[in-house]
C-alpha cells in the first residue's frame, strides 16, 4: 500500500518511478531473479525437462533454440509462436519459416504442465522458451548466461509478422541484416547468432536452389565447395525429397562449438544465408574469421546477443497474460 502511494506521488510529481521495483509498477525491464520468490524452482524445472528431451533426441536442443528466435522476431518475445489457430487467432505455425520446420512444441507443453503444478499461473510461456534456449545451448556444449525474466504472453499471433520478419535462407545479406536491424540487432548479433547453426538440421528445400540453379542460369552456387555440393545433391535431388534432412554443421552436428564458422571459411556453409556472411560483406567476413579462430570470443558474444534478442519488445507488468496452456490464450 505504502509502495503504491509512493509511486502515485512520484507520478504526480512527474518523476519516473523506475527506482522502485518494476514488478510493483508494472513496467519495464526483465531481470534474472524475477521468479526468485514466486517460483524458486522455475529454472530447475525447465532445465530438467529440457535435459530429458535432449537426452532422448539431441536435435531437440537446436529446435528449442530456434523457437525462441522465431518467437522474438514476431511482436517480440511473447510466446506468440506457441498459439494454435482458434477463434480470431491465425497460428504462426503455418508461416513459411515455421511450416514443416518449427518443432519442440510438445517439450514446451511438458515444461508448462510441470510448472503449473509447482507454481500455478506464475511463469510465462515466453520465459520458458528463453530459459529452454539457454539450457539447450549449455547442454550441447555452448556458453551459459543468466536469462533476464519477467516476460508475459501475448493474446494474439501474427502470421504476416512471421512471414515477413524472419529472414529466409535465400534472402540477400542486405535483406537479412535489415531484418535484424528492424529488431534492434546489428551485424555483430547477426553473425554471432547465426552461429546457432552449429547445431540442428535443415531440409533439402531450404538450400536446393544453391545446388542446381543459384541465380537462374542453371548453375550451382559458386561459393559452395564443389565436393560438398555433390555430396549434398545425392540426397537432395532436383525435384522431390523436399523434407530430407541435413546437418547445418556437418563436422559436429550436435555439438555447440565454432565449427560452423570454420565451415564458412572452407565454403561449406549449408544455407545461402550462412555462406553470405563470409562472402558478401567485409565486416561480417572479419567477424566470421574471428569466431572461427577464437571460440571463446564467439561464446562471449553469443551469450550477449542472446540476451539482446531475448529483450525484443517483451510484454511486462500488466500487459499480456500468464497463459495456462501455451497453445491458447486464457479464457
Ligand X SMILES: *[C@@H]1O[C@H](CO)[C@@H](O)[C@H](O)[C@H]1NC(C)=O
Binding-site members are 71, 74, 76, 78, 80, 92, 167, 197-198, 249, 257
Interatomic CA distance for residues 73 and 140, integer angstroms: 24
Min separation Cβ 205 and ligand X, Å: 7
Indicate which single residue of 85, 164, 170, 223 sits in contact with ligand X (rule: CB under 6 A).
170
Indicate the DSSP class of residue 43: H
User: What is the distance between the alpha carbons of residues 72 and 1, in angstroms, rounded to a whole number?
Assistant: 35
DSSP 144-177: -----B--BB-S---HHHHHHHSPPTTS-HHHHH
Site membership for ligand X, residue 216 (CB under 6 A): yes
DSSP per position, 176-224: HHHHHHTTT--HHHHHHHHGGGGS-EEEGGGTHHHHH-TTSSS---TTS
- Give the per-residue SS3 of 77-133: CCCHHHCCCECCECCHHHCCCCCCCCCCHHHHHHHHHHHHHHCCCCCCHHHHHHHHH
18 catalytic? Reply is no
Among 39-47, 211-219, 258-266, 282-290, the segment contacting ligand X (CB under 6 A): 211-219
Site for ligand HEM in 74-133 (CB under 6 A): 101, 103
Q: Compute the residue count for the chain.
A: 331
Q: How far is the CB of 215 from ligand HEM (least distance, A)?
A: 18
Q: Which does 273 bind (CB under 5 to 8 A by kind): ligand X, ligand HEM, none?
A: ligand HEM
Contact flag: residue 213 with ligand X (CB under 6 A): yes
Residues 142-201 touching ligand HEM, rule: CB under 6 A, are: 167-169, 176, 190, 193-194, 196-197, 199-201
Site string for ligand HEM, 25-64 (x = CB under 6 A): ----------------------------------x--xx-
- d(Cα 5, Cα 2) in Å, to the nearest integer? 5
Of residues 61-100, which lie at the interface with ligand X (CB under 6 A)?
none
Among 39, 49, 50, 69, indicate the residue that binds ligand HEM (CB under 6 A).
69
Residues designated catalytic: 70
Point out which residues bind ligand HEM (CB under 6 A): 59, 62-63, 65-66, 69, 101, 103, 167-169, 176, 190, 193-194, 196-197, 199-203, 206, 248, 271, 273
Amino acid at each position: 500500500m505504502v509502495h503504491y502511494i509512493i509511486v502515485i506521488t512520484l507520478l504526480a510529481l512527474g518523476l519516473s518511478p523506475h527506482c522502485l521495483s518494476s514488478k510493483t509498477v508494472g513496467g519495464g525491464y526483465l531481470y534474472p531473479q524475477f521468479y526468485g520468490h514466486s517460483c524458486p524452482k522455475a529454472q530447475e524445472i525447465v532445465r530438467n525437462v529440457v535435459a530429458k528431451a535432449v537426452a532422448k533426441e539431441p536435435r531437440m536442443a537446436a529446435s528449442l533454440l530456434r523457437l525462441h528466435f522465431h518467437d522474438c522476431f514476431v511482436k517480440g518475445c511473447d510466446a506468440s509462436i506457441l498459439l494454435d489457430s482458434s477463434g480470431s487467432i491465425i497460428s504462426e505455425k503455418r508461416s513459411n519459416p515455421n511450416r514443416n520446420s518449427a518443432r519442440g512444441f510438445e517439450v514446451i507443453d511438458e515444461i508448462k504442465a510441470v510448472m503449473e503444478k509447482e507454481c500455478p499461473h506464475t511463469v510465462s510461456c515466453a520465459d520458458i522458451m528463453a530459459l529452454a534456449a539457454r539450457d539447450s545451448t549449455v547442454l550441447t556444449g555452448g556458453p551459459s548466461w543468466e536469462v533476464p525474466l519477467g516476460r508475459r504472453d501475448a493474446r494474439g499471433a501474427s502470421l504476416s509478422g512471421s512471414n515477413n520478419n524472419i529472414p529466409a535462407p535465400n534472402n540477400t545479406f542486405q535483406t537479412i541484416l535489415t531484418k535484424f536491424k528492424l529488431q534492434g540487432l546489428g551485424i555483430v548479433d547477426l553473425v554471432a547468432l547465426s552461429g546457432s547453426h552449429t547445431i540442428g538440421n535443415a531440409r533439402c528445400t531450404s538450400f536446393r536452389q544453391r545446388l542446381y540453379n543459384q541465380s537462374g542460369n542453371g548453375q550451382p552456387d559458386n561459393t559452395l565447395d564443389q565436393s560438398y555440393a555433390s555430396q549434398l545433391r545425392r540426397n537432395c535431388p532436383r525435384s522431390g525429397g523436399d523434407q530430407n534432412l541435413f546437418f547445418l554443421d556437418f563436422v559436429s552436428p550436435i555439438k555447440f562449438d565454432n565449427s560452423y564458422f570454420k565451415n564458412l571459411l572452407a565454403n561449406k556453409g549449408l544455407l545461402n544465408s550462412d555462406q553470405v556472411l563470409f562472402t558478401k560483406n567485409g565486416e561480417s567476413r572479419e567477424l566470421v574469421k574471428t569466431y572461427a579462430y577464437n571460440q571463446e570470443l564467439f561464446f562471449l558474444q553469443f551469450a550477449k546477443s542472446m540476451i539482446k534478442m531475448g529483450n525484443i519488445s517483451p510484454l511486462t507488468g500488466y500487459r499480456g497474460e500468464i497463459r495456462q496452456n501455451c497453445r491458447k490464450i486464457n479464457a
